[in-house]
């Protein structure tokens, strides 16, 4: 399949390994990425709290650029960031609700020759994996099942709430997809308190203690549940859970040493891509347990 | 009638014993409520089960509990729906709400948390002077707008699930902040700026919310407290230029300016700018505190000095144009779905339209008055 691909900002900035691992995994899943390199930041909810129309217009611009690719054969728009998914879905809900409001937004876009037509399909890589590629197909592609790897899912608020806007329901349990993917890849899903909670990142500059307390607690809960690592579809969660983990450990007063993987990295490991190619060496918390696991598997195969 | 298994979380702090699960089977029609299930268990099995309720019609807000981990009103949750969201064992779990101390079993101390916070925000109208001779006149739109926060029945479901309050019990919280919007959004209130300033100067005020959407999901009345908090921030920052103690407004403007300049987020600037700029006295200790992480990140090549210091990405002209047009408007446009509804909601119901059409030839409108088909 071909997708109009919005990588987001952080995946090309502080978590460049996310963008890199997506690029490594895509061809193996038969996804052609057409990158929206002229598109702009989704606003992460912060621009919307300054001005809704500004956020709506910026995202309408990204949607319009994606729709140009869709008319040229892309199947849908894909993002790799829970926050992009949530912030863009929120704007889309307003844009799709009213032709009058859409016309006002499109008038601003007209200067650049762009127009957003309602009803774009924009899915996070997680949703694409389950709904477009399918778990059955994914299973056939697994070369190195994640046997004995204990993985805790960490979704990020924006991709699980509010359920009505994100079309999460019993028929489409998008808030259970990470667990389904981990299982399909052969790993063990760890059940712990923080999987659907907030990483705290949005208030890191506003109330640092509360922000790090949230990250620290979830990491500690996952540690107590004996997870080897966490996996997240959200690079902003990754910033608080991995980049800030040494500070979060200080905040909660205990040693934390929990590797946090980006979703394409976990998929990549199971598809047989090397940890180095997936950029695991760039993480702040060394994913030692994951590397040990992958070497044990490779060693086990080549040694016997 | 059908049998349902209820697992009730029991706890009596005065007993000194640990909380435990208590399972009862109740026999009720599937469309009856979880509350009726609890009451049947109490009346027929164990009179010591502690539960608070009154109206049984989702209006008094007394019976807030968690059903299968999700907060809501016990009287407003059907047994069959609760069963559908139960675990594989088919047992409906009923627990007391979170973030509040337990008095007994399902009864939590609303006074200690919820009501204290509501009182914190001056929950009454401070009328504009001079008081008009007759009524205050307000627009229909602004009235509909505040009805959303007025719909709150003080059940505490949002407080129960607030993730910021979970780590910061001093956070004013979703219910009280929705209540604040009820007055800040009311054109008759005279104290908009003071209310917002008060909450901006409180480190646990409007900028302590993480946008986790939990309160929106929890509310049984569609109040969407988080949306009201975001509107308080918009008004505080844009209309009153309030500099808050959390650097919330600074962070918001740092973010907005960052995107206007770069098109996509340049994170290396965002942190210092949120504290007032790289050389600002507030920023310096923050930057020093983050040095060990910066060094590790550089060593792991997570970021390179070039990427952090240079601005390789420039905002396309189209993005600059959007900022120019939208930020240049005299009045902020805020498309509010609660007031406007969607085009689909507002479209005439085809059945009604047909009925009107069918009635028209006779010259009589559906309300029985003389039709005016001309």
Chain A nearest-CA residue for B207: A206
pLDDT value at A17 more than 60: yes
CA distance B328 to chain A (A): 11
State the pLDDT at residue A297: 67
Rounded CA gap, B318 and B263, in Å? 9
The residue of B264, B278, B303, B306 whose CB has the most chain A CBs within 10 angstroms, and thus the best one to mutate to test that interface, is B264
Q: What is the arithmetic mean of pLDDT over A292-303?
A: 64
Is residue B154 a contact partner of residue B59, using CB atoms and an 8 Å limit?
A: no
Going from the C-alpha of A216 to that of each of A151, A155, A220, A288, the distances in angstroms are 17, 16, 6, 19
Are residues B253 and A50, on separate chains, in Cβ contact within 8 Å? yes
Going from the C-alpha of B159 to that of each of B202, B315, B368, the distances in angstroms are 18, 40, 49
Least CB–CB distance from B322: residue in A38, A108, A170: A108
Token code pair at residue B281? 């006295």
Chain A nearest-CA residue for B249: A50
CA distance A303 to chain B (A): 30
pTM of the model: 0.93
Give chain A positions within 8 Å (CB) of B203.
Answer: 207
Put simply, whether A253 touches B (Cβ < 8 Å) is no
pLDDT value at A233 more than 60: yes
Least CB–CB distance from A207: residue in B208, B290, B303: B208
Going from the C-alpha of A220 to that of each of A25, A131, A208, B255, the distances in angstroms are 30, 32, 18, 31
Put simply, whether A98 touches B (Cβ < 8 Å) is yes
Rounded CA gap, B341 and A165, in Å? 14
pLDDT band at A304; cut points 50, 70, 90? very low
Least CB–CB distance from A112: residue in B293, B318, B326: B318
Half-sphere exposure of A160 (CA within 13 A, CB side): 20
The Cβ of residue B42 has, within 10 Å, a number of other Cβ atoms equal to: 17
CA distance A47 to chain B (A): 6
Are residues A41 and B263, on separate chains, in Cβ contact within 8 Å? yes
Token code pair at residue A179? 């667990």
Are residues B326 and A57, on separate chains, in Cβ contact within 8 Å? yes
CA distance B148 to chain A (A): 17
Least CB–CB distance from B259: residue in A13, A40, A49: A40
Half-sphere exposure of B291 (CA within 13 A, CB side): 6
CA distance B331 to chain A (A): 11
Are residues A40 and B163, on separate chains, in Cβ contact within 8 Å? no
State the pLDDT at residue A303: 40
Are residues B208 and A161, on separate chains, in Cβ contact within 8 Å? no
Residue by residue, pLDDT tens for chain B (374 residues) are 899 999 999 999 999 999 999 999 999 999 999 999 999 999 999 999 999 999 999 999 999 999 999 999 999 999 999 999 999 999 999 999 999 999 999 999 999 999 999 999 999 999 998 888 998 889 999 999 999 999 999 999 999 999 999 999 999 999 999 999 999 999 999 999 999 999 999 999 999 999 999 999 999 999 999 999 999 999 999 999 999 999 999 999 999 999 999 999 998 889 889 988 888 888 888 888 888 888 888 888 887 887 777 777 889 999 999 999 999 999 998 999 999 999 999 998 888 878 877 876 654 444 544 444 43
The residue of A46, A61, A213 whose CB has the most chain B CBs within 10 angstroms, and thus the best one to mutate to test that interface, is A46
CA distance A242 to chain B (A): 10
Is residue A91 a contact partner of residue A48, using CB atoms and an 8 Å limit?
A: yes
What are A255-270's pLDDT values in tens digits? 999 999 999 999 999 9
Are residues B264 and A52, on separate chains, in Cβ contact within 8 Å? no
pLDDT band at A152; cut points 50, 70, 90? very high
CA distance B98 to chain A (A): 14
State the pLDDT at residue A234: 98
Are residues B167 and A200, on separate chains, in Cβ contact within 8 Å? yes
Are residues B167 and A217, on separate chains, in Cβ contact within 8 Å? yes
Are residues B216 and A98, on separate chains, in Cβ contact within 8 Å? no
State the pLDDT at residue B309: 76
Chain A nearest-CA residue for B308: A13
State the pLDDT at residue B289: 83
CA distance A69 to chain B (A): 18
Are residues B267 and A14, on separate chains, in Cβ contact within 8 Å? yes
Please report where in the chains the tokens 């702009």 appear, as a residue: A40
Rounded CA gap, A216 and A222, in Å? 10
Least CB–CB distance from B322: residue in A17, A61, A97: A61
ipTM higher than threshold 0.90: yes
* Domains with residue ranges and CATH for chain B: 2-108 (3.10.20.30), 111-239 (1.10.1060.10), 248-317 (no CATH), 340-374 (no CATH)
Closest-CA residue to A121 (of A88, A148, A81, A82): A88
CA dihedral A264, A268, A273, A275 (to 10 degrees): 60
pLDDT value at A19 more than 60: yes
Mean pLDDT, all residues of chain A? 95
Rounded CA gap, B221 and B82, in Å? 18
């Amino acid at each position: 399949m071909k997708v109009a691909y919005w990588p987001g900002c952080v995946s090309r900035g502080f978590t460049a390994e996310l963008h890199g691992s997506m690029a490594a995994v895509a061809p193996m899943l038969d996804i052609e990425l057409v990158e929206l390199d002229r598109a702009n930041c989704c606003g992460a909810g912060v621009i919307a709290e300054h001005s809704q129309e500004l956020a709506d217009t910026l995202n309408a611009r990204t949607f319009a650029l994606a729709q140009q690719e869709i008319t040229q054969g892309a199947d849908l728009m894909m993002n790799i960031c829970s926050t992009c998914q949530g912030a863009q879905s929120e704007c889309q809900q307003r844009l799709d609700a009213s032709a009058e409001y859409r016309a006002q937004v499109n008038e601003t876009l007209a200067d650049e020759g762009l127009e957003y037509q309602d009803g774009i399909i924009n899915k996070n890589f997680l949703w694409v994996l389950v709904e477009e590629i399918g778990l059955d197909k994914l299973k056939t592609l697994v070369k190195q099942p994640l046997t004995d790897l204990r993985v805790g899912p960490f979704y990020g608020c924006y991709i699980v709430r509010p359920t009505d806007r994100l079309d999460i329901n019993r028929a489409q349990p998008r808030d259970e997809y990470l667990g389904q993917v981990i299982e399909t890849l052969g790993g063990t899903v760890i059940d712990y308190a923080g999987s659907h909670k907030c990483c705290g990142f949005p208030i890191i500059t506003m109330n640092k203690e509360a922000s790090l307390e949230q990250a620290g607690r979830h990491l500690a809960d996952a540690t107590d549940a004996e997870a080897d690592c966490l996996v997240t579809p959200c690079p902003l969660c990754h910033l608080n859970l991995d980049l800030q983990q040494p500070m979060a450990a200080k905040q909660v007063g205990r040693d934390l040493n929990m590797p946090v993987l980006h979703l394409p990295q976990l998929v990549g490991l199971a598809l047989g891509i090397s940890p180095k190619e997936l950029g695991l060496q760039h993480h702040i918390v060394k994913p030692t347990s994951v590397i040990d696991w992958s070497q044990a598997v490779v060693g086990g195969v080549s040694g016997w | 009638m059908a049998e349902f298994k209820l697992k009730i979380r029991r706890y009596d702090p005065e007993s000194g014993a640990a909380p435990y699960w208590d399972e009862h089977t109740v026999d009720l029609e599937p469309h009856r409520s979880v509350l009726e299930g609890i009451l049947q268990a109490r009346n027929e099995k164990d009179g010591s089960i502690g539960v608070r309720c009154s109206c049984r019609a989702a209006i008094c807000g007394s019976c807030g509990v968690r059903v299968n981990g999700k907060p809501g009103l016990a009287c407003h949750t059907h047994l069959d729906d609760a069963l559908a969201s139960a675990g594989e064992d088919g047992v409906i779990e009923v627990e007391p709400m979170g973030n509040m101390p337990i008095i007994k079993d399902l009864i939590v101390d609303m006074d200690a948390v919820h009501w204290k916070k509501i009182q914190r925000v001056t929950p009454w109208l401070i009328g504009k002077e001079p008081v008009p001779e007759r009524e205050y006149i307000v627009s229909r739109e602004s009235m509909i707008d505040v009805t959303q926060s007025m719909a709150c029945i003080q059940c505490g479901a949002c407080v129960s699930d607030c993730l910021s309050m979970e780590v910061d019990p001093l956070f004013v919280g979703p219910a009280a902040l929705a209540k604040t919007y009820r007055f800040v959004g009311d054109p008759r209130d005279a104290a908009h700026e003071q209310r917002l300033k008060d909450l901006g100067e409180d480190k646990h005020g409007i900028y302590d919310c993480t946008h986790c959407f939990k309160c929106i999901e929890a509310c049984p009345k569609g109040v969407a407290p988080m949306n009201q908090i975001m509107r308080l921030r918009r008004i505080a920052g844009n209309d009153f230029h309030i500099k808050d103690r959390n650097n919330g407004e600074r962070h918001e403007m740092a973010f907005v300016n960052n995107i206007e300049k770069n098109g996509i987020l340049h994170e290396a600037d965002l942190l210092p700018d949120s504290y007032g700029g790289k050389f600002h006295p507030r920023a310096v200790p923050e930057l020093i505190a983050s040095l060990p992480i910066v060094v590790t990140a550089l060593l792991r090549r997570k970021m390179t000095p070039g990427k952090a210091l240079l601005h390789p990405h420039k905002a396309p002209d189209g993005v600059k144009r959007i900022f120019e047009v939208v930020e240049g408007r005299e009045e902020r446009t805020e498309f509010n779905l609660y007031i406007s509804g969607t085009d689909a909601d507002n479209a005439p119901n085809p059945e009604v339209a047909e009925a009107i059409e069918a009635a028209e030839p006779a010259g009589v409108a559906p309300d029985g008055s003389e039709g005016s088909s001309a």
